[in-house]
Amino acid sequence: MSQRNKPLRNANQRSVRRCALVASVQVTELRSGAVLSARISELGVGGCYVDALNPFHEGALVGLRILRDQGVFETKAKVVYCHSNFGMGLAFIDMTPDQRSLLETWLAEIVSQLRPAS
């Protein structure tokens, strides 16, 4: 299917699944340097959802630092949608191979914990 013939997605539809994960996050708006300390509630290979009362505006470019016991994930992201007083959806951009590998390891751990033991 060509790019032009693809159906438009609404802002809340994702091309990849996100997993529930609560972790601390620091989001820095790159243009202004404003820093937001918050938490994520969903994580996927392409992005995450940040719970925040005062999210950055749609289209903002941000630096992202997710903190977990298993390490720190850092990348740049773009705010793809906002829910005033609730949070914002971020799409990861410019991810290094090392950071992608860390992210995939975290997601594999989360998915394996969801499967019932046999």
Write the pLDDT tens digit of every residue in 28-69.
999 999 999 999 999 999 999 999 999 999 999 999 999 988
In a domain, 26, yes or no: yes
Each residue of 104-113: pLDDT tens digit?
A: 999 988 888 7
Inside any domain, residue 6: no
Among residues 15, 52, 41, the alpha carbon closest in space to that of 110 is found at: 41
Under the banding of pLDDT at 50, 70 and 90, the label for residue 91 is very high
Residue-range definition of the domain harbouring residue 72: 18-113
| Residue 4, domain member (yes or no) | no
State the total domains in the chain: 1
Q: Is residue 65 part of a domain?
A: yes
pLDDT at residue 5 tops 50: no
The pTM score is 0.80
Is 8 a domain residue?
no
Q: At 109, which CATH number?
A: 2.40.10.220
Q: Is residue 55 in a domain?
A: yes
Query: Which residues is 35 bridged to in the sheet?
Result: 28
Report yes or no on 74 lying in a domain: yes
Cβ 62 vs Cβ 28: under 8 Å: yes
